[in-house]
Structure 1
Amino acid sequence: MRKWAIPSACLLLLVAGALAASLPMPWAAAQAPKVWRVQSSWPPASPPHLSFLELAKKIEEMSGGRLKLQVLPAGAVVPAFEILDAIHRRVLDGGHGVPAYWIGKHEASSLFGTSPGFGMDSWDNLAWMYYGGGLELYHELLQKELKMNVVSFPTSPLPSQAFGWFRKDPLKSAAELKGLKYRTVGLAADLFKELGAALTILPIGDVIPALERGVLDAAEVCCPSVDKTLGFHVVLKTYMVKSLHQPAEFLELIVSKSRWDELSPDLKAIVKYAAMAEAADFYMRDLKMNMQDLDDLVARGVKVTETPPEILKAQLEAWDRVLERKAKQGPFFAKVIESQRQWAKQAVPYRLLFSTPREIQFEHYWKKRS
């Protein structure tokens, strides 16, 4: 039998090929990035929407491009109040909103953002969410009470929200709220109903058109930057600040639990910590924007006035009645309230004890120079 000779160069190629076949190739190992199709609840230029874009950017950068969020504008797929259902049904992979937007499904949802806060601000509230049992309760609400296949990541703390924009002169007493056609969302709507106002609940993109048509006498959305972006100052000139209807709200990223379960442990950690990082980043950006935009609003002829203490006290008393009534109607609502109260019972006295009053510093540094 004839023996076939294999040239040494060919032999080397065969061996090299066999070895190469046994090793993972770089282009084979590099998987295509995961892309989540997510929708915003906010108008494109508004600070909450910009926060969503920044969060998406952080997740992509921290993951080295392995996880990307394709951010769709508000209303691209579903209206703002329907985002939760769309995520559950896998129409969307995720979305960005506030817990109060799900109040139509369960009133307790609003407690996680638009409760009275019991003296807390949004940072205290976020601390309760992450370290005081709030997030566990929120997931119990979403996943067990509502049967929604979703996961939430609290982020971006909002400042204590303004009382709002008014068509007429600033209010001097709570009695002037009676019959006032007013816009807010969440449990704050129950608060103002308790005070006699006529409530309309709208997504923020619909508020200015409602004011222009005369459907509303007054409305609140958030704070100087958001309100300026929406164009409140074009329609109304009376801006009342300080209120207790939404003192501790935050934004949230909601994700399909099916999509979440597909992630590796490191990508899960990236999403979680990107949301927390954006909370701090948003606060710093938002402070700069709000203080600059407030000056701009004043320069454009907006009259800024502080809400009288009599109205603030009336709000607190109305909150007591609303919460007592609703806690009797639902055990889960009562459980969330109790958890918040216990956290605030420690957090608020601590903050008061260790926080130096800013008024003293303001009087020393700035008022005497103005």
Structure 2
Amino acid sequence: MKKGGTAGTGATGRRGLLKRAAFGGVVAATGALAAPQVSRAQTVTWRFQSTWPARDIFHEYAADYVKRVNEMGGGRLRLELLPAGAVVPAFQLIDAVHAGTLDGGHGVSAYWFGRNKAFSLFGTAPPWFRDANNYLGWFHYGGGEALYNELITDILKLNVVGFQNGPMPTQPLGWFKNPIERVEQLRGLKFRTVGLATDLFNELGAAVVALPGGEIVPALERGVIDGAEFNNPSSDRALGFPDVAKVYMLQSFHQHTETFEILFNKPKFEALPAELKAILKYASESNSADMSWKLQDRYPKDLLEMTQRQGVRALTTPRPILEAQLQAWDRVVARLEGDTSSPAAGPFFKKVCDSQRDWCRRTGVFFLRNEAPSVLAFNHFFARG
């Protein structure tokens, strides 16, 4: 009996072990299946505000970035996009991200120009860059990113992490009631611009007013300003410029290159796991490429809409004005580089300019020698009678 009992107890023990093992397998399988549910339950949602009105194509570019992050975040990180003014006015975005009132945002470095003039060198530098993609080359491979981080972290002590992306084409001189045909017409003109372009137009005699995108057209309509620039045909059309002015002057050196800036609160960014940090970074680079393709479709279409259906006269800025801008740039840069009394200019400003000039001199020589003239090819294929 004892032997049989032992055998029985052994069999029962084995059966119990098998049951427990089977049950454990079910638990393990259930746990494996449940893991995504746990991940979704732990989704981090960040408030991400742009500096652009919801109707502007710039806000659409911000939405394109957010879409990439949310799709790649795997339910662990989600950005909630808000338009300018939803939490703070456009010009207060960096302060809100620094304080953690906002988790992140989409704008341009030139908007923080009042904090330190060197900010405008990151995205709206003098026109020594061939184009905005050439600027991004300097930022990522010519030492620009280290200088940018030195400015925001060491000099200004800002709790933000920033990415530069989105190469913009040359910006038009802007919108006016009458054509700008001579440099003298800029003297005394109440004109909207931002960043280092304010110094440039002041140098040319204009009275500069800095306004965020959503406030420009109302100011132009009321006569608070006489002329204004914003950025591109799609933004300008969406914001309503053709309703208040009919002269659109194309070509300018005031903002020959510009890029966007994506900001995040630094403590929150640094608390993320490495893979989510990588998503925020590489989504910015993907968004940058996509934007450079999208604008090629949209900007020409909107310029045609304005000129063919809205009565807009698109004129080329005369060469003497372009030359006067370049000469004014020489004076502005020399003054800011030599201003050792101001923490917003002086040695650091010159340090960034020197780095940019070295990059542009080296890369410019190559591309000018290497690239066949695009005007020659365009005229050959498309300008023949």
The TM-score normalised by the length of structure 1 is 0.94
- Partner of residue 369, structure 2: 353
Deviation of residue 155 (structure 1)? 1.2
Using the alignment, how far apart are the partners of 2:268 and 2:187 within structure 1?
A: 47
Provide the C-alpha distance between the structure 2 equivalents of 1:78 and 1:63, rounded to a whole number of angstroms: 26
Counterparts of 1:138-217 in structure 2 under 5 Å?
138-168=148-178, 170-217=179-226
Partner residue of 1:287 out of 296, 302, 305: 296
Q: Which runs of 5+ in 2 are unaligned?
A: 1-5, 340-345
Percent identity, please. Answer: 44
Pick from 14, 19, 38: which aligns with 2:20? 14
Match of 2:47 in 1: 37
- The whole-number CA distance in structure 1 between the counterparts of 2:69 and 2:326 is 39
Cα shift at 1:13: 3.8
Q: Deviations over 1:255-293 (max 9, x none)?
A: 111121122222222221111111110011111000111
Q: Following the alignment from structure 1 to structure 2, what is the Cα–Cα distance between the partners of residues 57 and 9?
A: 53
What's the RMSD between the two structures over aligned residues?
2.0
Larger radius of gyration: 2
Match in the other structure for 1:93:
103
Q: Which residue of 2 aligns with 1:363?
A: 379
May I ask how many residue pairs the two structures share in their alignment? 367
CA distance in 2, matches of 1:20, 1:148: 51
| AA in 2 matched with 1:135 | E
* 2:281 match: 272
Q: Distance in 2 between matches of 1:19 and 1:233?
A: 69
SS, match of residue 38 in structure 1 = strand
Partner Cα separation in structure 2 for residue 268 and residue 119 of structure 1:
30
For residue 51 of structure 1, the aligned residue among 61, 64, 73 is 61
Q: Which moved more, 1:205-214 or 1:59-68?
A: 59-68
| 1:240 corresponds to 2:256 | no
Q: 2:233 aligns with which of 213, 224, 229?
A: 224
Q: Is the aligned partner of 1:250 residue 2:259?
A: yes
Gapped runs of 5+ residues in structure 1?
none
Residue number among 353, 361, 364 corresponding to 1:337 in the alignment: 353
Match of 1:307 in 2: 317
SS at structure 1 position matched to 2:60: helix
Q: Distance in 1 between matches of 2:300 and 2:369?
A: 27
Residue 156 of structure 1 and its aligned partner are, at CA, apart by 1.1
The answer to whether the 8 Å contact 2:129/2:135 transfers is no
Q: Distance in 2 between matches of 1:303 and 1:280?
A: 31
Question: In the aligned structure 1, how far is the partner of 2:28 from the partner of 2:315?
Answer: 74
Deviation at 1:27, TM superposition (A): 2.3
Distance 2:239 2:28 in 1: 60
Superposition deviation, residue 46 in structure 1: 1.2
Q: State the shift of 1:167 in Å.
A: 1.2
TM-score by length of 2: 0.91
Do the aligned partners of residues 176 and 28 (structure 1) sit closer, same or farther apart at CA in structure 2, a change above 3 Å counting? Answer: same
Q: State the match for 2:134 in structure 1.
A: 124
CA shift, 1:56, in A, is 0.8
Give the structure 1 partner of residue 34 of structure 2: 27
- Residue 3 of structure 2 is matched in structure 1 by none
1:113 CA displacement? 1.5
Query: What is the alpha-carbon distance in structure 2 between the residues aligned to residue 35 and residue 102 of structure 1?
Result: 26
- Deviation track 1:311-332 (CA, whole Å, cap 9, x = no partner) reads 0110011111111111112211
Aligned partners of 1:146 and 1:211: how far apart in 2?
Answer: 34
Instruction: State whether residues 115 and 188 of structure 1, in contact with CA within 8 Å, keep that contact through their aligned partners in structure 2.
Output: no
1:53-107: per-residue Cα shift (whole Å, max 9, x none)?
0011111222333221111111011111111111111101100000001111111
The 3-state SS of whatever aligns with 2:188 is coil
* Amino acid corresponding to residue 132 of structure 1 in structure 2: G
Secondary structure in structure 2 of the residue aligned to 1:312: helix
- SS of 1:120's partner is coil
Shift of 1:25: 4.0
Q: 1:15 to 1:363 in 2, by over 3 A?
A: closer
